Structure 1
Amino acid sequence: MAIPEQDAGENRRGAFIAPGYLAGFILVTSLFFLWALANNFNDILIRQFQKALDLNRAEAGFIQFVFYIGYFTMALPAGMVMRRFGYRAGILAGLGLYAVGALLFYPAAEIRVYAAFLAALFVIAAGAAFLETAANPYIVAFGHPSRAEQRLNFAQAFNGFGGFLAPIIGGVFIFSGIEHSKADIAAMPPAQQAAYRATEAQMVQGPYLVLAVLVVLIAIAVAMVRLPHIEPPGRASDAHGKRPSRFAILREPALAGAVTAQFFNIGAQVGVWSFFIDFVKEVTPTTPERTAAFLLSFSLALFMAGRFIGAALMQRIAATRLLTFFALAGVFLAALAALTGGWIAVGALTLTSLFMSIMFPTIFSLGVKDLGERAMLGAPLIVMAIIGGAVFPPMMGFISQAIGALQPVMLVPALCLAVVAFYATRAHRAAGRVETPPAASPLH
């Protein structure tokens, strides 16, 4: 990637944003916010679709399965599109897919077919995969290389803000505030029951239409705004003129360990957040859904804050040591949520997000920091490891359905975080006593 020639003088003085690119920087930063909304709306949909579509918890868990399968399958195609046509084209393709998926929620709500909603979510996920693949190189290219990490951390803060805001938006505009027990719904006459479910299904139409309009407006702006030139990645060859194999690089122990740890880390994150509202309703039955959604939002605010706290602590504490401590704290809190009761359990699960905060960026950085020019081959593999988010929520849903309770199932995220703790311990031993703070990376 390259910063435009005319800005070289300014960039030697350490420009945070190169002159003339402020509007482009704002637009690319907004992409971090957009895919956070898409990810975290799913936590609301899992609860909403149980009411609107008469799903059990295991069936609702497939929302995350389909969404993260979309991410997984589209990560490499997104990279190929950008290598062929450039990053602007990749961003526009991602925004187009995102808007189409959001628009598909309207007819899906009219026909109330679960498969139609899942198809719409897959399309949104495909768009988000394009956006996430493109955003980091663009943010890095907007100013002086010495301030790239600062720019990326700034952009990632908006990812955390989107995660914090999504449950509030969903709680206010998707949850109707009308709650009936399963017994009450079963006792309704068929016509009344159908009307209730139809009303609940249609609650998603307005928010997703607004989201589609917002995405289209951003796409129009991206098509018109001035953006820095970036050399497409992935064209480099080795000394023999051959392109290196993307998957052969998994022979690197640090990268292979990071891919494995990331799989379990994302599984823990998505597992906790997917069933957070159901968990609160189970252990404190009188808590309204909207209150549970606001608690989820607070938990995600802690997740956002944890990134800033972790970045500050890494100035004094080795990243691998801090990752070990955070992972062990997460294991303890998730287990506490599973084994205690009432507001102690809710508080423990809420705090778990704080300690999951640094995991994705730290694992990502540890996996690629010694790869040199091959980092662009290794990085997408770590991103693809987010398929853990497709595996664990359905698993947790099925276990919950089988045992008739959700609370004990929070031991699954505890076990996932134990794997992260094991990885962090081994990484710390491998690094020895000297370790530099890891570079910033995409947030989830």
Structure 2
Amino acid sequence: MAVTSPSSKPTVVSSGTDLDNSKSFTGPLIVVTLLFFMWGFITCMNDILIPKLQQVFVLQHWQAMLIQTAFFGAYFIISLLYFVFSMTKGDPIMKIGYKNGIIVGLLVAAIGCALFYPAADFHSYGFFLMALFVLASGITILQIAANPYVTVLGRPEGAASRLNLTQALNSFGTTVAPLIGGYLIFETVQTMDTDTAASVKLPYLGLAATLLAIAVLIKLANLPHIKGEGRIIADAGALKYRHLVLGVICIFMYVGGEVAIGSMLINFFSLPEIAGLSEAEGGHYLAFFWGGAMIGRFFGAVALAEFKNKNRKYMIIGAITAIVVTMIFAIYGQQEALIVLGLIAINFLVLLLGRFLPNRTLGFFATAVITLLLITMLTTGAVAMWSVIAVGLFNSIMFPTIFTLAIKGLGVHTSQGSSLLVMAIVGGAIIPPLQGYVADVTGSLQLSFIVPLICYLYIVYYGFAGSRVEKVDPSVEV
């Protein structure tokens, strides 16, 4: 595909990929999934930080949501800088390779985690926001490098399935984070001064050490070295693709809606008319929300995989369901297990309705979320609580599916398109404070769910229409 460069001296780097898509890349995929787990864990820790720092610094809902603004704002700023740099100097990830890009992201994220220690000592909310920004900057670099890396590790037809599988490990991180983080930050404060943020020091120092250890592992691992598809060109060619531009908006809406819902859940569960749960108890049920995303992504990885025998898909999904329900029964009891089984059954029916096609499945899942949010807003008690928890199960396949649909057919502009999509994660910085503002103005957390509901309306459009790939005229300059 011919492209033009706005620079008089475009950066052109001879490179290539020695990947043979007929080979198995199971080993490299296992290593890379560690990254997805870690940034899922770290991202969901924000849902624990919000009520904790709201208590410590006596914040209103919208002020507490600035935690998400600082965190997801980094996605926008760092991705924007990356995109501008790639327009003038060439794509940096394509130059240094995906592996080195991943290591840089891990090191920056580790520094951000370490900054939580002085933030707690200085008792400064602004310092915490700065630490979150640095942490998220590292994760932004990881996202730009790791997501497209997974899509090229194998046959193109299985890209959506592979990304769903690795995102399932991301969701495992978001599932255990409320349990571990809630225990360390809330329950251990019984022996500390509850008016300080000292309880966040140990968890985030532990995260910093873990990120450094993974960086060493990635450095030593024998990962396929991929730089690009022939050459690196300085231009804004990714913007020529309509389905990518609409996909950027879709990622904005999805991440904004998901983060806004997750950020409100602990406070929502504490309402007397909903469940009247404490923060620690709410953290346990928050794990159901993120756990649903994990289960759904495992389903998505199987459903969107290229199996010759469809019965094999059903058998694997059935086995996953049996394991999950048995575990929930053992840990929480019969009632929770039956509820989860019913929700999984509905989820599977929607998968069948989508006929295992990524775009159709995305559209029907977004429709299901809209229905669940309406039930959450119009009911009370257990019905409202479990309706909003079920949103996690249907959120499951959205990010990896949107991402895969949006970068389809981008060729040499794949990494640049990835940076634009990661930039759109800034939705997580903008939508949650907006929902918090609506909650403050109306005095109703339930009514505030209208904000993410609007986001999912756009996702329905992208799934059914906006994701269609149209031919690009190579003579068009951007």
Tell me if TM exceeds 0.5.
yes
Matched, 1:161 2:172: yes
C-alpha displacement of 1:81? 4.1
2:72 to 56, 64, 68: 68
Distance 2:230 2:469 in 1: 28
The aligned residue for residue 170 of structure 1 is 181
After superposition, give the CA deviation of every residue in 1:306-361 in whole Å (9 maximum; x if it has no partner): 12334445573433322222111111111221221122111110011111222222
Matched, 1:91 2:106: no
The aligned residue for residue 206 of structure 1 is 202
After superposition, give the CA deviation of every residue in 1:94-136 in whole Å (9 maximum; x if it has no partner): 1111111111111111221100000000011011011122223
Change (3 A) 1:292 1:155: same
Counterpart secondary structure, 1:2: coil
Distance 2:408 2:156 in 1: 16
Distance 1:323 1:87 in 2: 28
Distance 2:171 2:258 in 1: 13
The aligned residue for residue 268 of structure 2 is 279
Matched, 1:103 2:114: yes
Stretch of structure 1 that moved more, 311-320 or 119-128: 311-320
1:270 to 259, 263, 279: 259
Matched, 1:343 2:382: yes
After superposition, give the CA deviation of every residue in 1:391-432 in whole Å (9 maximum; x if it has no partner): 11111112212222212101111111112113323248x589
Change (3 A) 1:253 1:158: same
Alignment of 1:21-420 (within 5 A): 22=27, 25-75=29-79, 77=81, 80-139=91-150, 151-176=162-187, 195-198=193-196, 201-232=197-228, 235-237=231-233, 243-246=234-237, 249-282=238-271, 283-284=273-274, 286-314=276-304, 316-420=355-459
Does the Cα contact within 8 Å between 2:275 and 2:381 map onto a contact in 1? no
Give the TM-score normalised by structure 1.
0.81
Counterpart secondary structure, 2:223: coil
Stretch of structure 1 that moved more, 266-275 or 217-226: 217-226
Stretch of structure 1 that moved more, 141-150 or 76-85: 141-150
Does the Cα contact within 8 Å between 1:266 and 1:389 map onto a contact in 2? yes
Counterpart secondary structure, 2:17: coil
CA RMSD across the alignment? 2.8
Does the Cα contact within 8 Å between 1:320 and 1:427 map onto a contact in 2? no
Does the Cα contact within 8 Å between 2:158 and 2:304 map onto a contact in 1? no
Change (3 A) 1:347 1:153: closer
Change (3 A) 1:233 1:274: farther
Does the Cα contact within 8 Å between 1:263 and 1:385 map onto a contact in 2? yes
- Counterpart residue type for residue 15 of structure 1: S
Does the Cα contact within 8 Å between 1:3 and 1:143 map onto a contact in 2? no
Distance 2:157 2:246 in 1: 28
Task: Point out where structure 2 has 5 or more consecutive residues left out of the alignment.
Answer: 1-15, 306-354, 471-478
Task: Point out where structure 1 has 5 or more consecutive residues left out of the alignment.
Answer: 180-193, 238-242, 433-444
C-alpha displacement of 1:76? 5.0
Distance 1:212 1:306 in 2: 29
